[in-house]
Amino acid sequence: MSETRQNNNNRPMGPGGPGRGPGGPRAGLFVQKPKDAKGTLRRLLGYLKGNFGLMVLVIAMSVLTAFISIASTRIYGVVIDNFIAVGDMGGLVRIGAALLAMYLVNVVAVYLQNTKMVEVAQQTSLRLRKALFDSMQGLPLQFFDTHSSGDLMSRLTNDVDNISNTLSANVTQLFGGVVNVVGTFVAMLILSPMLTLISMVTIPVMLIWTRIMSGFMRKLFKKQQVDLGALNGYVEEMVSGQKVVKLFSQEKNVQTRFNELNENLKKSGMRAEIVGGAMGPSMNMLNNISYLIVAVAGGYLILRYGVISVGVVFSFLLYMKNFGRPLNEIANMFNTIQSALSAAERVFEIMDVPPEKDAEGAQEERRIEGDIRFEDVTFSYVPGTPVLKHASIEAKRGQQIAIVGPTGAGKTTIISLLTRFYDRDSGSIIVDGEPIDSMTRDCVRRNVGMVLQDTYLFSESVRDNIRYAKPDATDEEVEAAARMGGAHSFIRHLPNGYDTILLDNGGNISQGQRQLLAISRAILADPRVLILDEATSNIDTRTELRIQNAMLKLMEGRTSFIIAHRLSTIRGADKIIVIDKGQVVETGTHDELLAKNGFYANLYNSQFKTGMAL
């Protein structure tokens, strides 16, 4: 891409903008304010609706295990008063057998509860991940130009996994804890209202403390997730750009920046974990104080008034433990839950980005013939700084239109507007006599084939990479496109020919070979409008000459826009449009523009005198 971009908080930058460079995720137009914890939780629970049956089973098992725990606790007190105190060994054996049976049932219930909750968590994460990925596919290109790919990957993988792990590991504890707390409280009231009232002294303190700590933890875990996304983004960028790093001997600077991001993550992680880890011990201390108060009060009632028995106090202390233990577990889960809510916020931030929208009633199926006209078009990536100024361009069906100009002049911006990667600020783009907005973006792009300077290939076979433009193409059609694109000869010499699997972005073939595959892919698409954005810049002169006839055949009957620095590509164009500082300064054929001895002539002469590219 040739344009120079800038960024601010109001408007996303153009292709190749920030988000690709060091420093992690960038804040831009699409970053939403963090959702509140309650709203995020309600939204997250919405993804559990598809597992209603499993959730009912999990809740039923939670109730059953809570009932067994409450009943067995009371039985211990009865054993002390009615069997041990009177020496009834037979009764003690019978009650022991009954307790054993209850514990066996409890084991089965816990197993079902845990395994079904894991199933719920996995299905929920599947739906979340699918919804997030689907949302990302509908986002405008400008979103990806302004956000770090590593940060987006972190949200799709780390954040969703965080949510899944929390659901599978903690939700059963949360359900069981709530049921146990409620059931135990009722049992305590039935057993001794007076001791229950005494034991509740520390509850308000625990609730207030929990509320204060949860607010701190949510902020700290949010910061931890942001720092993790920044680190992931930087690592992904540096791994992809290792050749550039080594070429300019930037290893030390890269290490320094990585250490800074790593240190930031360490600090935010330590703060979050320290505060989160303090929750459990502090709650445990409050529970121990409650035990002490109840034990002293119970002993006093036994010794002074004899209104309750030793078995009742023993059962009540166990109830208090069963009451406090779930509260402690819930408190210990707060750091994990807060982390999961922070991860969910980051996931929902992407889902809330408005997708690309077409005008109401826009045509979805239409064949473009190729008459294209820009009328007084102005566009700016940053408001107030137009990249294209009142540009008027006309291309007739089947014409070859070359666009030339210095770097940053606005050449690629014209192509981005034509493919509707961006929408103009003002003016009109007319396609076959109708506004381009009268067609959906998909409709426009299905009729446009593009070969960029920087190709992208998938980690699939050579055949599948060419077929990407037309998934239902036969092997014969794929091979014919490769022959026309000049790729067939080198493909035959690959280890497995067309079935050779390419490494990441075609790392096991040369840059020129990758370009030939991209050209073949465009040929297979059979577009009505062809865009070549310096498409042969990575191909040697001999290879370029070999495929010139194929390219000319490809362009026959198609409207072609060519951005190129080699004059061999543009000299035969029907029209050359010269762009400078976002304005169309000259238009004509190669010979006409040379005869004018103007801006184009200076570029032409400069290239041959200094070897400088257009």
Residues 179-202: what's their mean pLDDT? 83
- Look up the domain containing 72 and give its range: 37-351
Is 300 contained in some domain? yes
**pLDDT in the model for residue 540:** 67
pLDDT, mean of residues 574-597? 91
Q: How many CA atoms lie within 13 A of 92 on its CB side?
A: 10
Tokens (6 digits) for 383 = 């408001």
Cβ atoms 486, 550 nearer than 8 A: yes
Average pLDDT of the residues in 2-24: 35
Bigger pLDDT: 287 vs 593: 593
SS3 label, residue 562? strand
Q: Which residues contact 336 (CB under 8 A, 6 or more apart)?
A: 166, 169, 170, 276
> For residues 338 and 163, is the Cβ–Cβ distance under 8 A?
no
Residue 546 lies in a domain: no
Summarised one tens digit per residue, pLDDT across range 435-454 is 999 999 888 888 888 887 77
Domain count, the chain: 1
pLDDT for residue 379: 92
The structure tokens listed for 21 are 């460079």
- Which of these ranges, 40-49, 162-171, 241-250, has the smallest mean pLDDT? 241-250
Q: What is the model's pLDDT at position 191?
A: 83
454 CA to centre of own chain: 24
Q: Would you state the pLDDT for residue 34?
A: 36
The residue assigned the tokens 């502090």 is 282
Instruction: For residues 343-362, give the mean pLDDT.
Output: 87
pLDDT tens track for 449-507: 888 777 788 888 999 999 988 889 999 999 999 988 888 989 999 999 999 998 877 77
pLDDT digits (tens, 9 = 90+) for 375-406: 999 999 888 889 999 999 999 998 999 998 88
- pLDDT tens per residue across span 534-581: 766 666 667 666 666 667 767 777 899 988 766 656 888 899 999 998
* 69 within 8 A of 370, measured Cβ to Cβ: no
Which of the residue ranges 152-166, 291-305, 336-350, 389-403 has the most confident prediction, judged by mean pLDDT?
389-403
Average pLDDT, the chain: 81
Please, which pLDDT band fits residue 608 given cuts at 50, 70 and 90?
A: low
Per-residue CA distances from 555 to 53, 445, 561 (Å): 59, 17, 10
Residue 436 counted as domain residue: no
In 492-538, beta strands by DSSP E: 529-533
Domain assignment of residue 259, yes or no? yes
Contact 70, 184 (CB under 8 A): yes
Q: pLDDT at position 105, please?
A: 95
**E-only strand ranges, 555-607:** 559-563, 575-580, 583-588
Single-letter amino acid code for the residue at 107? V
Note whether residue 121 is domain-resident.
yes
Cβ atoms within 10 A of the Cβ of 364, count? 10
SS (H, E, C) 392-458: EEEECCCCEEEEECCCCCCHHHHHHHHCCCCCCCEEEEEECCEEHHHECHHHHHHCEEEECCCCCCC
Q: How far is CA 502 from the centre of its chain?
A: 25
Confidence of residue 18 (pLDDT cuts 50, 70, 90): very low
**pLDDT class for 584, splitting at 50, 70, 90?**
very high
Distance, in Å, from the CA atom of 478 to the CA atom of 517, rounded to the nearest integer, reads 11
Q: Tell me how far apart the alpha carbons of residues 569 and 576 are, in angstroms, rounded to a whole number.
A: 11
Q: Is 233 domain-assigned?
A: yes
Rounded average pLDDT over 9-13: 36
Asked if residues 48 and 120 have their Cβ atoms less than 8 Å apart, the reply is yes
Amino acid 456: pLDDT: 81
First to last CA, the chain: 13
Say what the pLDDT of residue 109 is: 92
Report if residue 487 sits inside a domain: no
CA angle centred on 59, ends 53 and 61, rounded to 5°: 105
Q: State the Cα–Cα distance between residues 229 and 26, nearest whole angstrom.
A: 11
pLDDT above 60: residue 111 = yes
- In this predicted structure, the answer to whether residue 223 has a pLDDT above a threshold of 80 is yes
Q: What is the DSSP string of 21-75?
A: SSSS----TTPPPPPPHHHHHHHHHGGGGGGHHHHHHHHHHHHHHHHHHHHHHHH
C-alpha distances in angstroms, 528 versus 190, 399, 451, 503, 553? Answer: 82, 11, 14, 31, 13
Residue 426 DSSP code? E
Confirm whether 202 is domain-assigned: yes
Asked if 400 and 555 touch (Cβ cutoff 8 Å), the reply is: yes
Q: What is the pLDDT of residue 539?
A: 64
- pLDDT (0 to 100) of residue 26: 32
The predicted structure's pLDDT at residue 194: 84
Q: How far is 450 from 530, CA to CA, in rounded Å?
A: 6
User: So what's the pLDDT on residue 378?
Assistant: 94
Q: List pLDDT tens digits, range 520-540.
A: 888 888 888 988 887 666 666
CATH no. for residue 333?
1.20.1560.10
The pTM for the full model equals 0.66
Amino acid at 585: V
Map residue 542 onto helix, strand or coil.
Answer: helix
pLDDT beyond 50 at 6:
no
